[in-house]
Amino acid sequence: MEPLIPPLYAGQLIRLTGIDLEKDPETEARWMRDPAYLRSFGEDVAFPKSAWQVKKQYEALEKDADEHATMFHFQLRPLDDERLLGFARVCWISWPNASGFVQLAIGDPADRRKGLGADALGVLLRYAFDELNLHRLSARVPEYSLPAQRLFGKFGFQVEVRARRMLERDDRRWDQLEYGLLRSEWAIRAA
Amino acid sequence: MDDNLLRGCLVRLSAEDPEPLAAGLSRWWRDSEFFRLLSFHASPMFSPKHVREWLEKELEKNPPEFYLFGIRSLDDDKLIGFMDLGRPSQSGNCWVGIGLGERDYWGKGYGTDAMQAALRFAFMELNLQRVTLNVFDYNARGVRSYEKAGFEVEGRVREAILRDGVRHDVIFMGVLRENWLQGTAQSSLRHLRSTAGRLALAQHPRGAAGSRPERGAGAGGRQGISEPEGPVLS
C-alpha cells in the first residue's frame, strides 16, 4: 500500500542518503580534480583533497553535526542504486531564528543538466521547511555560477544581497549573491 | 608611515590581556539590550572565567585566527568595547565586528571613530580589498555610524531574526577598497599622515571640556559627528 505521506528522503530522480565512508571519498576526490567544481561554491580556496583527506573531512562533518546540530548533510544517490551523484545540505542553522543556509552540488558534469539538482533541491527544501521547521533559507552563489542562479531562481529564491567584488579569481573580481526564500513563499509554490 | 594606524580622535585600538577583556565582555554580554544589537544568537550568560578561558586560547594562537582589539577611550584609557576583524579570505575580504559595551560612551562618536581605525588597519595594514559587516534593521544608529565610516548597504536578508515575536531583517553592508581610498578615506589618510593626528570634531562634549591636546588643522575634513550613535555591532 502506498504511504499517505511521501517519504521524506525521496524525490523523483534522487534520494537523500548518508555517507558511505569507504566508497564516497574516492568519488568526491575525483570531482575535486575539476577546479570549476571547487570554485562553484564560493570563496573557499579551490584546493583539491585526496580520498584520504575527504574521508577525514566526512568524519569531521559527522562529528560536528552530532555535536552541534546546526548542519544536516545528505549524499545524493539515484533512487535505485548506490552511485554517489552529489550532496545537499542545510547548514549554518540558527535555531532561535529558525534560519539556515542550503548548499548542493551534482559532482560529475555528465550528470548535470538532467534535473537532478532541481529534484534534490525540492526534497531538501521540504526537509528544511517541514522537518527542521525553518522560517527562511539562504544560499550564497558566486556571480559566475549561472546554473546555481537558475536553479535557485526556479524555486522562488530572491536575490537579497549583492556583495560587490567579494571574490577574486583568475585576476578578476566577482560579486557574491545571497539568495533568500521564506517558508511562506515556498509553501505557496509547493502547494 | 605614521603611528596613527590604530589611533583615532576619541579612541585607540588596543592589545588586551585576557583578564580585562574577559571581564568586559562577560559584563557587556549580560546587558541584553547590547547583546541583542550585537548578535543574533540567544543572549548568553557566561561566567567571566568561561570567557577568560576562551579568550586565553584565542589570544595564544600565533598567527591569530582573527584580529581582536580592545577599544580604549583616549581621554581616560578606559576599555569601552571591542573590535574584531575576521581572517581575510584569499580574495581580500574580511568581516568586521564591533561593540561598545560601556553605555556612557554611546551616541558620542566613539563607535564611528573606532570603526574608522578598524578600516585603516584593514586597508592599510591587512591590505584588504573590502570589508563586510552585518547589522540588524533595529539598530538604526549602527547603520548610520557605518555609513559615516564608508560602508554601503548591499542588501537585506529578510526576516532573518526573530525577537520578542517580531521578525527583523539583517542588513548587509560593505566597503570597497577603491571607494575607501577616495571619498571619506581622504580624511582618514590625512589623519593617518598628520603629525598631530587629530581632526576637528564638531559637538564633541569632552573636547569642549578642553582636556585634550591641541587639535590638528583638519581643514576641509569631514563634518563633525552630529548625530547620536549607538553601540555599533557586527
C-alpha cell at B157: 536578508
Residue B109 has pLDDT above 80, yes or no: yes
Strands (E), A57-157: 72-78, 86-94, 99-106, 136-142
Contact B93 A43 (CB under 8 A): yes
**B contact test, residue of A68, A95, A159, A161 with most B CBs within 10 A:** A161
Does the residue B223 lie in any domain?
no
Tell me how close the Cα of A97 comes to any Cα of chain B, in angstroms.
Answer: 5
Among B140, B151, B139, B205, CA closest to B176: B151
Does the residue B88 lie in any domain?
yes
Contact A165 B42 (CB under 8 A): no
Contact A164 B167 (CB under 8 A): no
Report pLDDT for A190: 78
Overall average pLDDT of the A101-119 stretch: 97
Does the residue B60 lie in any domain?
yes
> Of B40, B91, B155, which has the smallest distance from its Cβ to A162's Cβ?
B155
- If one counts every other C-beta atom within 10 angstroms of the C-beta of residue B48, the result is 14
- Write the CATH number for B192: 3.40.630.30
Tell me how close the Cα of B199 comes to any Cα of chain A, in angstroms.
Answer: 30
ipTM: 0.93
Does the residue B219 lie in any domain?
no
**B contact test, residue of A43, A94, A97 with most B CBs within 10 A:** A97
Q: For B138-160, how does the pLDDT look when each residue is reduced to its tens digit (9 = 90+)?
A: 999 999 999 999 999 999 999 99
Does the residue B80 lie in any domain?
yes
Report pLDDT for B4: 86
Residue B204 has pLDDT above 70, yes or no: no
- If one counts every other C-beta atom within 10 angstroms of the C-beta of residue B20, the result is 14
- At residue B156's C-alpha, the angle toward residues A46 and B150, to 5°, is 80
Contact B40 A94 (CB under 8 A): yes
Q: Which residues of B touch A138 (CB under 8 A)?
A: 157, 160
Q: For A38-77, how does the pLDDT look when each residue is reduced to its tens digit (9 = 90+)?
A: 999 998 999 999 999 999 999 999 999 999 999 999 999 9
Which helix H or strand E contains B117, and what residues bound it? helix B110-124
Residue A23 has pLDDT above 60, yes or no: yes
Does the residue B222 lie in any domain?
no
Does the residue B226 lie in any domain?
no
Contact B91 A135 (CB under 8 A): no
- When divided into structural domains, chain B yields a total of 1
When the pLDDT of each residue in chain A is averaged and rounded to a whole number, the result is: 95
Q: Residue A156 — pLDDT band, cuts 50, 70, 90? A: very high
Does the residue B232 lie in any domain?
no
Contact B174 A99 (CB under 8 A): no
Structural domain range at position B39: 3-201
Tell me how close the Cα of B153 comes to any Cα of chain A, in angstroms.
Answer: 9
Q: For B112-142, how does the pLDDT look when each residue is reduced to its tens digit (9 = 90+)?
A: 999 999 999 999 999 999 999 999 999 999 9
